[in-house]
Amino acid sequence: MSILKKLLIALLALSAMALVTAAFVDGSIKVQQTIHINAPVENVWNFTSNITGLNCWNAWFKRDKMMRTSIAGNEGRPGSSFCWESDSTELGKGCLTISQLTTLRDVTLDITVYAPYKTHAKTYISLQPINNTTRVTLNFNSHVPYPLNIMMLFKRTKKTIATNYALSLQELKRLSEGQ
């Protein structure tokens, strides 16, 4: 048997193993982070209910100062969006859109990433007033489709999101408390 034929068989076997393995890998990405902020819910709402406010504390967008960005829609209303394009493969290209607002309570964000690969996610921001403080909870939900879900074995996606959420919430706390 020729060496080329053996290489082709080996490559096909490896591909088949990867596809079988991917069938058993959970592609769900769910991350939740919570912080208590020593500020009334109105202060926190000002930073969570509009694109400009969201961008003040979003840790991802502080990573690339040369990122190309655009804002569209009516600020602070469902449908307003923020799109970015970065040369960094970590940030890629995508858009974040406010899809739902419940005044002083909840914000739902739809995130579409176009590069490095296309995916969709939802982020939920929940504000719970407790006396003169606010508990903020961020929830991230996404799913990596088969066979791309095999990347979940090699990438630390959940850890990266959790780390960036923690940094983002610390910045939201600092801004909301006026520090």
Query: What are the extents of the domains in the chain?
Result: 3-176
Instruction: Look up residue 98 and give its two tokens.
Output: 């406010």
Rounded distance between C-alpha atoms, residue 143 and residue 145, angstroms: 6
- Number of CB atoms found within 10 A of residue 36's CB: 13
Residue-by-residue DSSP string for 101-138: EETTTEEEEEEEEEESS-EEEEEEEEEEEETTEEEEEE
| Higher local confidence (pLDDT), 2 or 33 | 33
Tell me what pLDDT residue 96 has: 96
User: What's the mean pLDDT in 66-85?
Assistant: 94
pLDDT of 154 over the 80 cut: no
Tell me what pLDDT residue 80 has: 97
Residue 77 carries which DSSP code?
Answer: S
| Residue with the two structure tokens 């190309």 | 68
- Which value, to the nearest 10 degrees, does the dihedral of the CA atoms of residues 91, 94, 96, 99 take? -150
Rounded distance between C-alpha atoms, residue 109 and residue 92, angstroms: 18
Tell me what pLDDT residue 28 has: 86
Tell me what pLDDT residue 147 has: 83
Portion of the chain with pLDDT greater than 90, in percent: 63
User: What's the mean pLDDT in 126-140?
Assistant: 96
Range 3-176 classified under CATH 3.30.750.24: no
pLDDT of 133 over the 90 cut: yes
Q: 23: Cβ–Cβ under 8 A, 6 or more apart, which residues?
A: 146
Say what angle helices 41-48 and 157-176 make with each other, to 10 degrees.
130
User: What's the mean pLDDT in 113-131?
Assistant: 93
